[in-house]
């Protein structure tokens, strides 16, 4: 009975999309297995799930699904768990002395809800104010993508993006806003297809009302080309 109650409590936490830490929960032995070993194990697990559901894996359409899913998990949608894939965000001296905020908006976010392993799809808007260093624009997109490619909660993703850019740029003056749809809300449970979730993290000068307002005004610009 205690076990049933524990699972009920865990399910309730997941349905309410409550996260446990600002760091991705990882075991100490997370990287002892090779990618190939992980794919082999996950392939067998996916096959077992499909067979348990009553699917006929001898069918041409389903036969390769366990292997495709295993490779997708390890190499693609959860590739951000691999520290070797962390983007090397080289910085450069701000020789042109640009002193205003730089905003990279509408960065596409594809992530996965850690509670139901369903997609999170949306846009991230990231900004920083240089204290002497700048980072290549594409690196900002790559940092977003790296932290998105793992089981996530949106609040943690937003914080991780800001913390990483603060570390790279050696400044607290970094901000991030994410607006995303969660298919665990849109396609199951309450099944509210129109709702989206907005999260934000403001560091340094972005905690000041005027600076934060300027950033939010920038991301509202209707950019069309």
The span from the CA of 48 to the CA of 113, in Å, is: 22
The span from the CA of 219 to the CA of 72, in Å, is: 32
Could you tell me whether strands 151-152 and 101-113 are parallel, antiparallel, or unpaired per DSSP bridges? parallel
Secondary structure (3-state) at 191: coil
Question: Known catalytic residue: 182?
Answer: yes
What is the token pair recorded at 60? 């041409």
> What pTM value is reported for the model?
0.90
Counting every residue, how long is the chain?
Answer: 225
Number of H helices, E strands in the chain: 7, 7
Question: Known catalytic residue: 155?
Answer: no
What is the token pair recorded at 4? 């049933």
> Would the pLDDT of 20 be above 70?
no
- pLDDT attached to residue 223: 78
Question: Known catalytic residue: 28?
Answer: no
Count of CB atoms situated within 10 Å of the CB of 71 = 15
- pLDDT attached to residue 224: 76
CA torsion sign for 41, 42, 43, 45 is positive
Among residues 119, 138, 131, 124, the alpha carbon closest in space to that of 186 is found at 119
Question: Known catalytic residue: 154?
Answer: yes
Mean pLDDT of 29-54: 97
pLDDT per position as a tens digit, 165-184: 999 999 999 999 999 999 99
Question: Known catalytic residue: 184?
Answer: yes
Secondary structure (3-state) at 198: strand
Question: Known catalytic residue: 114?
Answer: yes
Choice among 104, 116, 152, 201 that is catalytic? 116
Choice among 104, 152, 154, 164 that is catalytic? 154
Choice among 160, 164, 182, 201 that is catalytic? 182
- pLDDT attached to residue 90: 83
- pLDDT attached to residue 1: 41
Mean pLDDT across the chain? 92
Choice among 115, 152, 164, 176 that is catalytic? 115
Question: Known catalytic residue: 113?
Answer: yes
Q: Is there a contact between 133 and 91 (Cβ–Cβ < 8 Å)?
A: yes
Q: Is there a contact between 23 and 153 (Cβ–Cβ < 8 Å)?
A: no
Among 20-24, 40-44, 49-53, 94-98, name the one with the lowest average pLDDT.
20-24
């Amino acid at each position: 009975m205690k076990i049933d109650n524990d699972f009920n409590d865990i399910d309730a936490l997941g349905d309410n999309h409550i996260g446990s830490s600002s760091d991705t929960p990882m075991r100490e032995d997370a990287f002892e297995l090779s990618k190939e070993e992980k794919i082999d194990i996950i392939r067998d697990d996916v096959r077992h799930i499909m067979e348990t559901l009553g699917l006929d894996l001898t069918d041409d359409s389903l036969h390769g699904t366990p292997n495709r899913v295993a490779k997708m998990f390890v190499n693609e949608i959860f590739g951000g768990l691999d520290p070797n894939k962390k983007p090397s965000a080289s910085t450069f001296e701000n020789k042109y002395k640009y002193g205003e905020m730089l905003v990279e908006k509408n960065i596409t976010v594809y992530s996965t809800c850690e509670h139901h392993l369903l997609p999170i799809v949306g846009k991230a808007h990231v900004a920083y104010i240089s204290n002497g260093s700048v980072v290549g624009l594409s690196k900002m997109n790559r940092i977003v993508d790296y932290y998105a490619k793992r089981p996530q909660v949106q609040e943690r993703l937003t914080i991780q993006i800001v913390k990483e850019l603060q570390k790279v740029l050696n400044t607290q003056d970094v901000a991030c806003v994410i607006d995303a749809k969660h298919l665990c809300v849109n396609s199951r449970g309450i099944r509210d297809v129109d709702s989206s979730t907005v999260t934000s993290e403001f560091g340094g000068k972005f905690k000041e009302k005027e600076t934060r307002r300027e950033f939010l005004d920038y991301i509202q610009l209707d950019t069309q080309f």
